[in-house]
Structure 1
Amino acid sequence: MATSGRRRGPVPKSDQPKPLTRALDRGLRILSIIAEDPDLPLVDIAQRSDLSPATALRLLDTLRAHDFVVQDEGGLYRVGLKAFEVGTRFLSHTRLQEVCRPILMRLTEDTDQTASLAILEEADAVYVDSGESQRSIRTATRVGTRVPAHLSASGKVLLAWLWEVRVRELLGAEPLRTMTPNSLSDVDAVLEALAEVRQDGIAYDREEFELGITCLAAPVRDREGTVVAALSVSTLTGQFSGREAALKQALQDAARDASRRMGWRAQQTGSMRADATLVD
């Protein structure tokens, strides 16, 4: 089955407002706050969730009873084991962690740089695994971090094969969020960048999220050819020009290997480009 350069993914449906369970909505909001910023006291959690301390405490007690959060001796809250177990099961269901973990570690070793695995969650690239060598730089791609997709190489890979209308829906109103003078701030510029990703099979973040850091990413596909994740490598910008070809080759080899293990098959002479042929 050939993609013929078409963007893959479901045709978006119009979203209708759905009723929310108030207590559950508040509890999940609190869990997200703690996940993003652990070791918070009750007063901070209440303030950030726009709840009274009494209401926040009742919700926290419920989350504690189910081991989704824990409280230390100083009264600070952090994510509990049950939240980790749920996240781990999600990754195991998609096979991404099992398939990509050894490839990610090998990529880290081969490049001597930070290598990461990301998935798309709404308009963000979420980093679900990461490897750091002894000489790796410290980046924002630690596990659990969310980065606006249009500002990261991984995010561009994850957006590139979606329908244009879905990309516009995810990115929302302009101007888009920016982090550096190099950040893309309008949707049309992002769409042009995504077209280049589909053509080249690789995406770049040239100091668009963090000054001094350059990243490149390649797609991981499943058996149907759908892009389900992105593998990336991050390096100091000053070291990138002399190593670009080697980093690109190592990354594409790793992404191709991960895709094969996820069930994707391409022509022997094919590449990770959008027009590569997919066969059962």
Structure 2
Amino acid sequence: MERYLIPGVVHACELLRLLAQNGKGMTSQQIEVALDLPRTTVFRLLRTLVSQQMLEKRNKKYFCGADLMNVGLQIINSDRLHQVAIPHVQRLALTTGHTAHLAVPHHGSALIVEVFDSPHPLKVASRPGLRALMHCSSTGKIFLAFLYYDNLELLFENKEMEKRTANTITNLPDLKKELQRVMALGYAVDDKEYHEDVRCLAAPVRDNRGIVVGAIGITGPATSFTKAQIPMIAAQVKAAACDIYKDVYQQHSLSQEKTG
């Protein structure tokens, strides 16, 4: 197995772990000694990691950078979000009668991480692990509207919007109008855009900084989840998103205050 390892990546991981354990920072000379690496190797590693904002240099010392800390926070928040959200996803399915799901943004798609099926025999559902297209899914529209709106041109520059159904939006001007509507309403609807005769609705889940970190939604056959039900369902989904925020972030903040 060792022969498949990339030495540069191994050294970078060792360097990151080393600095994570030294909150007061380290000089390049101290890093050379601690890792027993040549000066030129350490120099290249440091320049690369600083350019990627994984590390930052203050005077002569190196510290963990903002992007490295953000990656760690995202992992912690995503795991906490998933675990705490499970009962809320289940409750939403039972109260609406439709399949409920939780998604997180993942490399240009909406990754479904939790699903609770509708209690009714007639149901539609995706499975955990599915990566849904952004432009025609309700959870994807949430992420496009609240996370990626200012970079839509770059996001779709070399990426065609797949036409899944007759209702699928496939051009940027129409998508922008739809996302502006999402931002104004606080929820997104997939109105038979991803699958024929299937309607979905999702609302954003935010962290304690107000940043969207996930989306909770429901999926149902268009025959049972009608357009007339959208306002009522939207209120239930938005309430579930708010409850997840309270459980994940407000309680976490309170526990930190007590321990602090």
Q: Give the TM-score category using the shorter length.
A: 0.5 to 0.7
- Quote the Cα distance in structure 1 between the aligned partners of 2:179 and 2:249: 25
Could you report, residue by residue, the CA deviation over 1:112-138 in whole angstroms, capped at 9, with x for unpaired residues? 110000111122111000001331654
Contact 2:123 2:221 in 1 (8 A): no
CA change 1:145–1:136 in 2 (3 A) is farther
Give the secondary-structure state (helix, strand or coil) at the position aligned to 1:238: coil
Contact 2:202 2:217 in 1 (8 A): yes
- Quote the Cα distance in structure 2 between the aligned partners of 1:123 and 1:163: 9
Do residues 219 (structure 1) and 198 (structure 2) align?
no
Tell me the amino acid that sits aligned with residue 188 of structure 1. Answer: P
Return the offset for 1:93. 5.3
Return the offset for 1:142. 1.1
CA change 1:24–1:203 in 2 (3 A) is farther
Among 150, 153, 173, the residue aligned to 2:158 = 173
Return the offset for 1:161. 1.4
Structure 2 equivalent of residue 247 of structure 1: 233
- Quote the Cα distance in structure 2 between the aligned partners of 1:145 and 1:101: 17
Q: Which residues of structure 2 form unaligned runs of 5+?
A: 7-73, 252-260
The TM-score, its normalising length taken from structure 1, stands at 0.59
Contact 1:174 1:187 in 2 (8 A): no
CA change 1:91–1:152 in 2 (3 A) is farther
- Quote the Cα distance in structure 1 between the aligned partners of 2:111 and 2:78: 17
Contact 1:151 1:205 in 2 (8 A): yes
Give the secondary-structure state (helix, strand or coil) at the position aligned to 2:176: helix
Return the offset for 1:90. 5.0
Tell me the amino acid that sits aligned with residue 199 of structure 1. Answer: A
Among 210, 226, 235, the residue aligned to 2:195 = 210
Give the secondary-structure state (helix, strand or coil) at the position aligned to 1:205: strand
CA-based RMSD = 2.6
Do residues 236 (structure 1) and 221 (structure 2) align?
yes
The TM-score, its normalising length taken from structure 2, stands at 0.63
Among 118, 123, 128, the residue aligned to 2:103 = 118
- Quote the Cα distance in structure 1 between the aligned partners of 2:127 and 2:76: 16
Structure 1 equivalent of residue 182 of structure 2: 197
- Quote the Cα distance in structure 2 between the aligned partners of 1:172 and 1:254: 35
Identity %: 28
Do residues 141 (structure 1) and 126 (structure 2) align?
yes
Contact 1:221 1:262 in 2 (8 A): no
Do residues 158 (structure 1) and 108 (structure 2) align?
no
Which of these two proteins has the greater Rg computed from alpha carbons?
Answer: 2
Structure 2 equivalent of residue 106 of structure 1: 91
Give runs of aligned pairs for residues 19-38 of structure 1, distance below 5 A.
none
Return the offset for 1:236. 1.4
Return the offset for 1:185. 0.4
Q: Which residues of structure 1 form unaligned runs of 5+?
A: 1-22, 26-88, 266-280
- Quote the Cα distance in structure 1 between the aligned partners of 2:231 and 2:148: 30
Tell me the amino acid that sits aligned with residue 263 of structure 1. Answer: Y
- Quote the Cα distance in structure 2 between the aligned partners of 1:220 and 1:204: 16
CA change 1:220–1:181 in 2 (3 A) is same
Structure 2 equivalent of residue 272 of structure 1: none
Return the offset for 1:264. 6.1
Structure 1 equivalent of residue 242 of structure 2: 256
